[in-house]
Structures are given as structure tokens and as C-alpha cells.
Amino acid sequence: MSADDDDITEELLADAGKLTGLSLELLGLDPHPDDMTPDQRLQFDPEDLAEMAAVSPKERQKAVSQTRLLAGLLWNSSSILIDQLFRDLGTLSRLESTTPTDIAGTSVLSSLPPQFASSYDPKFTQKLIVVASDVTASLARGWAAPGCLAAELAVRCLLDQAEITEDIYELDLPENWRAQVEEVLLEDADSEALYSDSLDVLEDDADRLGFEHWFTPFGAGDTVPPYACS
């Protein structure tokens, strides 16, 4: 690991405390039984509690450090995501029209379902920025499940950015961290189907997955920023 790698690790660990909307346990860290309340211990089988208690202090310290690093990475990536979206908006704003080739050369929009690329114009990008800002704010104020397909896609773009940073700096993160985070942030998400190569999937669920529905709230209890609904 180089000096730069050490610097980014220290920076991310310092950012970990800012991610107040998600606990380390939600990010995959198994709690120690001694740190649980009696009610919390009742949620686990005795065998699981014994296994958690058997973790050595050294292994526990490593798990805590890795999960804190993940928390800092998500915080850092949320800022990069918005910055890159503004960069994409600037790129598209200079074009007379948007083509799939243009989108393929962008930083964030290129991560979205490619079959809709011709629809990713400046207005769409502005609405996505608003939604992504709302999603990333949940990392601080308390996590709320995405309220529309565009918000789910913003979460996926956030995790894509985190993976890019992980690969660049070869970060020591928990194993299978993305699957763990997706299970928490994208539980029962519909947006995965948008990446399907099967046209039948999209046609059968066009009333839910069609591009015109991406900023529509899922239900009465879900919210989408007003600008994105306009």
C-alpha cells in the first residue's frame, strides 16, 4: 500500500462518523453480545450468540475497522456522485441532442440502464441530481428506502462509485460488502429489472418500469422531491 493509499484510508475512516443514517450493524458488522440489550439478544439463537462472543479481540477490531472504512467510503462516494452528475449535466448541456454514444462517455449516466440512454437529456439529469441529493442526504439524517425507481438507480450509481474507489485504492473492505449494503438499501427493489436484456420483462411491467414512471412515487407513503416530479 502506498502513502496515497494510507492517506485515503485515514480520510475515509475520519468520514465514517459522518454517516449517521446507517449503523455499522446495518452495514454488516455483527454486534458483540455484551453490547446488546436483553431484548436484542432475544433476537438471536444461543448458537449465534456464542459464535459472536467467540470472535477474538483482534478479529473484532479488524471487522470494526473494515466496516468503518465502508461507512466512510459511502460518505465519500456520495459527494463524488453528485459532483460527477453535475459534470455529466455540463457535458450534455453543450450538445444539441443526446445519443447513446454520448451517454456511454459520461461518468454516472453511463451506469444507468443502457436501453434508455437516448432519454438521458439535461432535464432528466437535473431531476436525477435532485433525487440523488435526497438519497445521499438520508445517509446523514436517517436512512429511508428509495421512494421511486430513479432513487433506486441513484443508490446503484452510488455503489458503483464506491466500487470504483475501492478498486483504485485496493481498500480493505468487508467481504461481499456490496451485496450486504444492497440488501439494506435496496430491499425488494424493482430497478434491477431495468438492466435485464429481456425485452419481455420490460414490456410486461411497462406500467411500473417504463421510463415515464421513474420519478413517480411507489406508493402513498413514498416521497419524491417536488422538482423531480415536475
Q: Is the pLDDT of residue 5 over 50?
A: yes
Please tell me the predicted confidence (pLDDT) of residue 1: 46
pLDDT above 70 for 121: yes
C-alpha cell at 82: 453528485
Q: pTM, whole model, 2 decimals?
A: 0.89
H helix and E strand count, the chain: 11, 0
Torsion of CA 58, 60, 62, 67, to 10 degrees: -170
Distance CA 136, CA 158 (A): 9
Instruction: List pLDDT tens digits, range 58-87.
Output: 888 999 999 999 999 999 999 999 999 999
Per-residue pLDDT at 204 exceeds 90: no
Q: Which three cell numbers stand for residue 27?
A: 452495514
Cα torsion 41, 45, 46, 52: sign: negative
Q: Is the pLDDT of residue 105 over 50?
A: yes
Higher pLDDT, 34 or 27: 27
Whose CA is closest to 149, among 93, 229, 91, 74? 229
